[in-house]
Amino acid sequence: MSDTAPPAGTALASSQPKGRLLRILGVSFGIAVIVGDTIGSGILRTPGEIASYLGSRSLIIGIWVMGALYALFCTLSVTELGTMLPLAGGWYVHSRRAMADFA
C-alpha cells in the first residue's frame, strides 16, 4: 500500500456507499425547484387560455400592455420603498416598519 493521497475528487466518492447519490443539494433547493416549476407552468399555460377567452388580437395585446404597466408601477413603488429604507432584509424590513413587532 502506498502512503500517497488519492487523486483529487476520489475522496468524496469513496466516502459514499456504492449505488447511492451524493447529497449535494438540500431541501431548500428542492422546494425552490417545485415553486419555480409551478410558477413557470402557470406562466406558460395561462396566456393561451386567456387569449382563447378574449378572442380579439387587440384585446390580447391591450391586456399584455396593461399587465406590463401594472408590473412597472409595482416595481417603481417597491423601488421607492427600498430607497426610503435602505436596510438589508427585503420585505421583512418594510413589514416590520409598517406593523412593528405585532406581525
C-alpha cell at 36: 419555480
Distance CA 46, CA 25 (A): 31
pLDDT tens digits for range 7-28: 555 555 556 567 776 677 778 8
- Domain segments of the chain as ranges: 25-55, 57-103
Task: Please tell me the pTM assigned to this model.
Answer: 0.49
In this prediction, residue 70 has a pLDDT band, given cuts at 50, 70 and 90, of very high
Over range 42-58, report the average pLDDT.
85
CA distances from 21 to 24, 29, 34 (A): 9, 16, 20
CA 33 to chain centroid, in Å, comes to 8
